[in-house]
């Protein structure tokens, strides 16, 4: 088995993605559909929240992904800053639009869920506010990539932005623990069985989380490959112009 | 087949609709961008090789 750094070679990455992508895509589709169908059609209502509990199958996986996509971007950004592997910088760039959509789903489903349960679409609650800031960091990160022509400079600056934004990714996860106030409840899934939601809700929730993770992996493979193709096209066009 | 969502029917359905639309748009745009980037690269490589 070769080193993980072999995948920093764009050709090796593309070859691997050609093999892995179809399987991960199929697995992601099947898992996501199974989890959502199970959660929507075959789980009971909660005795307090009624049928709104079914929103958990979208809200929790999307929120988990919103935070963890940023951490994946942090790791690949650090790899770029330390080892200067272009594929890692492109993987971070490729992941950001997926992360912002996950954050948006978490915010929108949270607002829709919050309205009947809390009586308001929005509150400046620690977790909600840190999630909104995380969303703005995603926006800024994507805008920074688009604003800078030189790809290496863009990769450097976005990597620094990613490190700074990680503070808010941590806050989004642990805001409820830092400030024991606000409307948002604590973690729905915990290693402490007493804090966890009932198995009838948590089992399909785990399936949905697996579906979201697999979807993310498939999209990052696809989008990173796209970025590599774009980079190669740009390089060939520049070479043509030089004669 | 459709579960009885009670008085929260609109709430639950709108959450699912918004999320599924966003996910589908993200997947569709990613596939379209991938096909476009690959086609452009093949065109240029074809021009260089041919």
Range of the domain at A120: 7-242
ipTM attached to this prediction: 0.94
Q: Considering the domain boundaries, does residue B8 fall inside one?
A: no
Cβ-based contacts of A55 with chain B (< 8 Å): 11-12, 15-16
Q: What are φ and ψ of residue A50, in 5° steps?
A: 60, -145
DSSP assignment of A148-211? -SSHHHHHHHHHHHHHHHHHHHHHHHHHHHHS--SS--S-SS-SSTTTSPPHHHHHHHHHHHHH
Q: Is residue A150 part of a domain?
A: yes
Give the predicted TM-score (pTM) of the model.
Answer: 0.92
Q: Domain count for chain A, please give it.
A: 1
Residue showing tokens 């690949």: A76
pLDDT at position B34 over 80:
yes
B40, part of any domain: yes
Q: Is A50 helix (H, G, I), strand (E, B) or coil?
A: strand
Tens digits of residue pLDDT in A194-226? 666 788 889 999 999 999 999 999 999 999 999
Q: Is residue A1 part of a domain?
A: no
Q: What is the mean pLDDT of chain B?
A: 94
* B2: in domain: no
| CB-based contact A52 B41, cutoff 8 Å | no
The phi-psi region of residue A123 (left if phi > 0; otherwise alpha if psi is between -120 and 50; otherwise beta) is: beta
Q: How many angstroms separate the CA of residue A102 from the nearest CA in chain B?
A: 9
The CA distances from residue A32 to A143, A210, B31, in Å, are 30, 8, 18
User: pLDDT tens digit string along A23-68?
Assistant: 999 999 999 999 999 999 999 998 889 999 999 999 999 999 999 9
Residue A233: pLDDT band with limits 50, 70, 90: very high
B44, A233 Cβ separation under 8 angstroms: yes
CB contact under 8 A, A51 and B34: no
Q: Are A200 and A53 in contact (CB under 8 A)?
A: no
Q: Does B48 contact A at CB distance below 8 Å?
A: yes
Collect all residues of chain A within an 8 Å Cβ-Cβ radius of residue B27: 215, 219
Question: pLDDT digit string (tens) for A149-191?
Answer: 999 999 999 999 999 999 878 877 776 666 666 666 666 666 5
How many domains does the structure of chain B reveal? 1
Answer yes or no: is B9 within a domain: no
Q: Which domain holds residue B21?
A: 15-49
| Closest listed residue to residue A166, CA positions, set A188, A193, A202, A137 | A137
In angstroms, the CA A168 to CA A161 distance is: 11
Closest C-alpha among A82, A74, A91, A24 to residue A228: A91
Q: Is residue A2 part of a domain?
A: no
The verdict on residue B21 lying in a domain is: yes
Contact indicator for A116, A39 with CB cutoff of 8 Å: no
pLDDT at position A47:
87
When scoring B7, B12, B18 by the number of chain A Cβ atoms within 10 A, the one with the most, hence best to mutate, is B12
Q: Is residue A30 part of a domain?
A: yes
Helices (H), A5-149: 10-41, 56-83, 86-118, 126-147
- Calculate the average pLDDT of chain A: 90
Instruction: Render pLDDT for A115-129 as a digit per residue (tens, 0 to 9).
Output: 999 899 998 888 888
The answer to the question of residue B45 being in a domain is yes
């Amino acid at each position: 088995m070769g080193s993980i750094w072999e995948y920093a070679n764009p050709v090796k990455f593309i070859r691997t993605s050609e093999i892995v992508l179809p399987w991960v895509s199929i697995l992601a589709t099947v898992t996501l559909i199974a989890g959502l169908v199970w959660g929507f059609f075959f789980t009971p209502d909660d005795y307090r929240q009624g049928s709104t509990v079914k929103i958990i199958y979208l809200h929790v996986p999307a929120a988990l992904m919103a935070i963890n996509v940023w951490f994946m971007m942090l790791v690949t950004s650090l790899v770029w800053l330390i080892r200067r592997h272009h594929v890692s910088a492109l993987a971070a760039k490729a992941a950001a639009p997926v992360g912002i959509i996950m954050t948006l789903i978490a915010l929108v489903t949270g607002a829709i869920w919050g309205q009947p349960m809390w009586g308001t679409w929005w509150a400046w609650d620690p977790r909600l506010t840190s999630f909104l800031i995380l969303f703005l960091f995603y926006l800024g990160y994507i805008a920074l990539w688009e604003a800078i022509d030189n790809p290496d400079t863009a990769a450097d600056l976005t990597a620094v932005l990613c490190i700074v934004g990680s503070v808010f990714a941590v806050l989004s996860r642990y805001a409820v623990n830092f400030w024991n106030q606000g409307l948002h409840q604590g973690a729905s899934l915990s290693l402490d069985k007493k804090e966890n939601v009932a198995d009838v809700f948590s089992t399909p929730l785990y399936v949905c989380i697996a579906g979201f993770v697999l979807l993310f992996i498939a999209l990052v493979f696809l989008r990173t490959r796209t970025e590599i193709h774009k980079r190669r096209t740009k390089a060939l066009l520049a070479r043509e112009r030089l004669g | 087949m459709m579960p009885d969502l009670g008085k929260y029917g609109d709430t639950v359905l709108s959450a699912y609709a918004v999320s599924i639309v966003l996910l589908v748009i993200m997947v569709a745009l990613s596939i379209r961008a991938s096909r476009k980037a690959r086609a452009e690269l093949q065109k240029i490589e074809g021009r260089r090789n041919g």
